Amino acid sequence: MIHEKILFAKSGGRLKFALAYPNLYRVGMSNLGIHIIYELLNLRAGVTCERFFLPERDALPLSVESQTPLNKFQVVGFAVSFEPDYFHVVKMLKLGKINPRASERTDFDPIIIAGGPCATFNPAPLSKIVDAFVVGEGEEILPQLIDEILATENLPRLQRLEKISQVEGVYVPAFPKKTSRRWVKDLDKFPAHTTILTDDAEFNMYLVETARGCGRHCRFCMAGYCFRKPRNRSLDVLKDEIRAAKSFGKKIGLMGAAISDYPQIDELCNFILGEGLTMSVASFRADSVTENLVRALATSGLKTLTIAPEVGSEKMRAVVNKGITEANVFNAVELGLRAGIKNFRLYFMIGLPFEEISDVEAITDLTLRLKKFASGRLTLSVNPFVPKPFTPFQWSPFAEKKYLDAALKLLRKNLRGVDMISESVRSATVQAILSRGDEKISEVLLSSQSENEFRKNFRDAGLDEEFYLRREISFDEPLPWDILDQGFTKNYLRDEFSRAKSLKSTPKCFDGCRRCGVCKYN
């Protein structure tokens, strides 16, 4: 039995909106976006929003609030953050007795919407399943989208979708047009924090978003491009949110692309501890982490400090433009040791563009030196690199299985005594196909509710794995996600790719910068 407490008064209304997270409850309720959109919709006059999650067993999906079936709602909105959850979207629709093929749904079926990072960077793999995609940030787009849905409720389905396609920031595959990402310019207007308390989430915390977007220009990271520009909430707003959370006695979970980049992070940490609360962070960067932040985490009970060097060699640090040095990594470990933290986890990628096996050996060398320096428990998380749309590496091939297997074998051989975990090459391969997939992939997904089904259906459809994975895509080739506009041009990404190849760094975002174009008119 799930125990929850909703922290706001819902208004209710005639439009029944199913907010669906295509994974288990404990995963979905740790996603701050679900809390934000749930409150946004339920505070809207005329709307009743209820939540759905992937059933633990293959059962009829029922809403958390009233146990109503999925197909009884006029709108089903999926929040899609990760490619493997595409299978769960199809599964939930089928279990919910909703035709997963958009073109075959009738006027009596719900309108299916998708938002979240995956909808923002490449809608093509879900284009035959989803009726409309929210491209960008929900706070900016949903109010107008709901207006249009309410205004067209008596029109036939296709006419409704045509009207919906005219909302800025909404992409409708049935009426394709260039769609620009919309984003919140002033985060203080939209405080973002936990709105439903539950002990059954993966992260049993009160979540507070400190910032959104990232301007570090890491060339592998889709979030750094599709959520640009970086924006911070004011310290006063964050203090108000934390004071409001105090009575619940939960640990404060600070959310953002890199918490240590928040300009007043030390003052924020002091405030949280001064209120008698403990804290955790979603992530921090080794080059901006402060002693005060690490001490606050240790005081809050943190036992393992997580650091993401991503690569091991100087060459690869230049390629990915991570912006941190070995000295930054060792300094972060030292700060942890001084605060009494003895366990460390390191994140690395293999199979990056321009990588050679000597660069993998550099991961071994760095890890062994860190193990000797830290003398505590060291865990490595090593994952194959997946090229993402709207990054400088969107044209790069996914590494050969033979190379990835050899790289993982080398690391395991040379790092005996170091705990090492990694995503399977098989799963990363499927993720790479989904990440840069086109409408043909959408056709395969329609009959796939798992990774194994997808691989079989992919082969049965006569699709070529080499086409989606191994080839280096031409700069001039039209891409499935070209229908979207993130605010910057292909030329900008092409220049960044060239800089990666030439081992040239790109400085992070700064006030007055006009390099990529996102801030040109804002």
Query: How high is the pLDDT of residue 126?
Result: 98
What would the mean pLDDT of 117-127 be, rounded to a whole number?
96
Residues, the chain: 522
**Residue 455 phi, psi dihedral angles, 5° rounding:** -60, -40
The amino acid present at 170, given as its one-letter code, is V
In this prediction, residue 502 carries a pLDDT of 98
The pLDDT, as a whole number, for residue 376 is: 83
Q: List the domain boundaries for the chain.
A: 204-436+487-501
> Which pLDDT band holds residue 316 (cuts at 50, 70, 90)?
very high
Q: What per-residue confidence (pLDDT) applies to 370?
A: 96
Q: pLDDT tens-digit profile of 383-395?
A: 999 999 999 999 9
Residue 1 has pLDDT above 80, yes or no: no
Q: Which comes out higher in pLDDT, residue 104 or 514?
A: 104
Question: Is the confidence at residue 520, as pLDDT, over 80?
Answer: no
Could you tell me which of 258, 431, 419, 265 has the C-alpha nearest to residue 346?
419
- Give the model confidence (pLDDT) of 230-260 as tens digits: 999 999 999 999 999 999 999 999 999 999 9
CATH code of the region 204-436+487-501: 3.20.20.70
pLDDT digit string, tens, across residues 487-502: 999 999 999 999 999 9
Integer CA distances (angstroms), 100 to 58, 77, 97, 226, 504, in order = 16, 13, 9, 27, 46
From CA 408, how far away is CA 7, in angstroms rounded?
46
pLDDT of residue 511: 85
Task: For residue 378, count other CB atoms closer than 10 A to its CB.
Answer: 23
8 A C-beta contact, residue 209 and residue 256? yes
